[in-house]
Amino acid sequence: MRKKHISVGYIIVDILLIIGLLAWLFPLFMALLNSFKTDGELFTNILSFTATPSFENYVRAFTKMQYDKSIWNTILLAGLSVTLIVVLSSVAGWALCRTKSKLSSALLNLFVFSMLIPFSSIMVPLYKIVISMHLKNSLVGLSFIYAGLGVSMAIFLYHGFVKGIPYEIEEAAAVDGCNKLQTFIFVVFPLLKPITATIVITNVLWVWNDFLLPLIVISNRDKYTLLLSTNTLFGQYSNDWTGILSALILSAIPVIVFYAFFQKQILKGISDGALKG
Amino acid sequence: MKTKKLKKNVNLLLFCLPAFIVYALFKLYPAVSGVYYSMTDWNGLSRAFQFVGLANFTKLFSDDTFWHSVAFTAEYVLALVVFANVLALLLAVAIESRHHFRGTFRTLFYMPNMISMVIGGYMWMFIYTKVLYYLADNWGWKFLDHSWTGDPRYSFWSILTVSCWGVVGYLMIIYIAGLQGVPNDLKEAAELDGANGWQRFWNVTVPMIRPALTICIFWTLNSGFQVFDVIYTLTGGGPGDATQSVAINIYEEAFKGNTRFGYATAKSTVLFIIVTLVTLLQLTLMRRQEDEL
């Protein structure tokens, strides 16, 4: 046990941490605070609370950024992408782990090595594929691209997780008459739940917060993701700060709520992924 | 025996095929074809294009704008690796030494990492262009009276601040996990041997969190080289091309006005080579040091 004595140094660190935390959250706080003000109030006293909070800015931001439409697009995109990533890479990661052959280690190496390729290096040729496959402005197409970019990491994680599952369980299923695919679906996949949860959460956040890929692929206003529509608002109405701040809060809310619910898994996913991977 | 082995591999291929198809189509093929396009004069539109060998690369060598963006990115990455990791490690150590509220500190310091840097970037834009001016005007804090996003002398640091704000929470979580893996009796043994706090940190804790250090530096290097969102929202690469990162430069080349796709892929190839060399070098060096311990 660590000794629990309170020294001057301890209190100084406490104070520094609290000041640091206030500074850390200052941008979020300023955005929230000023999103309820009128333009006039914002410029006369940017630091104070408003006496008459109004939701008018939120209504304006909601309509201008077509919030309902873009949030639906983003949910659809993230949902589809993550489903694809989980389905495709769980079975592949399992098969790669259970098959001991040169081919299997070559395939795994290929998947793993390509994680090093920076996205900005492939975005130009990727755009050509998008055009030639008529995927421009297609959210479904975009989700397949996310799957293509995301499977490497997920396969790597599944592969590592399957190693820890006793093979006897699968043999028993085979004795009971399951074929390979049935064994996977009914016996193995349920056992992968912890790693699946991690993969779902990290990939939802990745797709949700990704900006550059949708920026290239989606140009139709009706297909905009939340970030794309937030971005246009900034370009078009760059003097309407109260409206912009409301829009920023509106687009931050879903992830903050998500964080509130899955905080433990998110933080655990990071440290597990980094130190065990 | 042979047929059994064959069957095994056929099964493997069947199970991997769906994942492999999307992977090959949207990651592997773009990576490989990018290298090919970099040796053509393809403009992105016409079907016909010529093989031009290394002409794009020779042209690239005298492209000052591109090399400026490479230099800017290199400076940025270096500063990010140092500042973000030092700050994250400090935070991790400070939070781990608390008796109470460790979870609360961790949760709140991590929060900026949750929101996209597009949103974060615009929130900071408000701080830089409105709040700091307000403080300079009303509180007389004249040192804040600068063009934080418009003047390249300051915008480098503005960009870096927002990036650190976005990544430190993530690194901090990894360092905390590393710190929790340091056995207490090791620290106590060092304490009994008369080591002071600093010596204990430097000689016991740091060697024990070497793997976390390797991962965090690798991660900052890799993501730093691709910086896009923060710069896109804060300065758009400007004024002129003063704060252009390589990713912004490639984006502008391929998608804004210019459509020299062949040339843009040459830039992409150079970026790939740089990132691969730097990260492999870092991993090899740091892993070797880990082994020596």
Residues of B (12-71) whose Cβ lies below 8 Å from A: 12-13, 15-16, 18-20, 22-31, 33-34, 37, 44
Are A139 and A207 in the same domain? yes
Beta bridge partners of B40: B51
Domain count of the fold of chain A? 2
| Domain-embedded: residue A215 | yes
Q: How far is CA A239 from the centre of its chain?
A: 30
User: Are A199 and A156 in contact, with CB atoms under 8 Å apart?
Assistant: no
Residues of A in Cβ contact (< 8 Å) with B174? 270-271, 274-275
Q: pLDDT tens digit string along B207-236?
A: 888 888 988 999 999 889 999 999 998 888
Residue of B16, B227, B269 to mutate when probing chain A, most A C-beta within 10 A: B16
Residue A190: Cβ-neighbour burial (10 angstroms; 0-12, 13-18, 19+) = exposed
Question: In the predicted model, what is the mean pLDDT of chain B?
Answer: 86
Specify if A253 maps to a domain. Answer: no
Assigned domain for A263 exists: no
Q: A125: closest CA among B265, B117, B223?
A: B265
Q: What is the ipTM of this complex?
A: 0.88
Same domain, A95 and A224: yes
Task: Determine which of A105, A122, A212 to mutate to test the interface with B (most B C-beta atoms within 10 Å).
Answer: A122
The DSSP element (H or E) to which B144 belongs, if any, is none
Single pTM value for the model: 0.89
Contacting residues for A54 by C-beta, under 8 A, at least 6 apart = A36, A37, A38
Q: What CATH number belongs to B59-292?
A: 1.10.3720.10
Instruction: Please identify, among A59, A82, A97, the residue that sits at the C-terminal boundary of a domain.
Output: A59
**What residue spans define the domains of chain B?**
59-292
pLDDT tens, position by position, B135-164: 777 777 777 777 777 778 888 999 999 999
Q: Give per-residue pLDDT as tens, B79-101.
A: 999 999 999 999 999 998 888 88
- A47 and A120 share one domain: no
Say what the pLDDT of residue A72 is.
95
What is the arithmetic mean of pLDDT over A113-127?
A: 88
Q: pLDDT class for A1, splitting at 50, 70, 90?
A: very low
Quick one: A45 and A176 in the same domain? Answer: no
Q: Which domain holds residue A35?
A: 8-59
| Rounded alpha-carbon distances, angstroms, from residue B64 to B151, B253, B272 | 20, 14, 19
Q: Note whether B122 contacts A267, CB cutoff 8 Å.
A: no
Spacing of C-alpha B174 from chain mean position = 15
Question: Which residues, 6 or more positions from B272, have their beta carbon under 8 angstroms from its beta carbon?
Answer: A117, A118, A121, B31, B34
Instruction: State the Cα–Cα distance between residues B274 and A123, nearest whole angstrom.
Output: 17
